[in-house]
Amino acid sequence: MTLGIIGQAAGLFAVTNIDDILILALFFAQGAGRRGSTRKIVLGQYLGFAAILAVAVAAAFGATFLPESAIPYLGLLPLALGLKAARQAWKHRDEDGGDEGEAPRSGPTAMAVAAVTFANGGDNIGVYVPVFATAGIGGMSVYAAVFLILVAVWCFAGKFFATRPVIAKALARWGHILLPVVLIAIGLLILIEGGAFGL
């Protein structure tokens, strides 16, 4: 029974978080060569995912923190972070005479990673709540434990992809452009799919 729940939890996590590997790879590329950036990214990923779990568990027990109509507006977080990253990339380009081969000087902060993780997890909450509600407290604990272990695996995978020579070279050259584009796209997708602002 527990092995079955572990397998279901692993499958559910993989399906609902596959896009996070790309985002993590971009964050790791942005933080490459910056002291403490790996720790900040991992901490941010755990903070963001812990918040997703907390909301999903609370909702499964019937104490919803956010009304369902508010969830699409979480898209404003990655949208704002993407616009900020785009502004920084543009500013850095001007300062260095248009050299597009270098990323902005500052690496990602733990809170920025947490905000993007949480905002991108709005759909995860919708999937986790019914699963948690039917799993009971014991099953929910197994799901949460498996999810938290797999967050570390996802962080490792994101860093692995960001440090492969071909991928690292592409991310080093284009990551400062790709990160804002991905964040803005995620934000817009969350807003549009959720019908925020009547979209």
Q: What is the pLDDT of residues 124-172, one digit of tens each?
A: 887 888 788 778 888 899 999 999 999 999 999 999 988 888 877 776 6
Cβ-Cβ contacts under 8 Å for 186 (sequence gap 6 or more):
19, 23, 75, 78, 79, 82, 116, 119, 120
Q: What percent of the chain shows pLDDT beyond 70?
A: 88
Contact 25, 175 (CB under 8 A): no
Angstrom distance (rounded) from CA 156 to CA 133: 30
Taking every pair of C-alpha atoms in the chain, what is the biggest distance, in angstroms?
A: 61
- The tokens of 20 are what? 């996070």
Angstrom distance (rounded) from CA 143 to CA 145: 6
Cβ atoms < 10 Å from Cβ of 194? 20
Angstrom distance (rounded) from CA 61 to CA 131: 12
- The tokens of 152 are what? 């570390």
Q: Does residue 55 or residue 196 have the better pLDDT?
A: 55
Angstrom distance (rounded) from CA 70 to CA 126: 12
DSSP state of 155: H
Angstrom distance (rounded) from CA 21 to CA 17: 8
* Helix, strand or coil, per DSSP, at residue 98: coil
- The tokens of 171 are what? 């991310």
Q: Match 């369902």 to its residue by tokens.
A: 68
Give per-residue pLDDT as tens, 36-54: 899 999 999 999 999 999 9
Q: Is the pLDDT of residue 61 over 60?
A: yes
pLDDT at 100: 44
Q: Is the pLDDT of residue 5 over 50?
A: yes
Angstrom distance (rounded) from CA 38 to CA 97: 29
Cβ-Cβ contacts under 8 Å for 140 (sequence gap 6 or more):
57, 60, 132
Cβ atoms < 10 Å from Cβ of 16? 18
pLDDT at 94: 55
Give per-residue pLDDT as tens, 74-106: 778 778 878 887 887 787 665 544 444 444 456
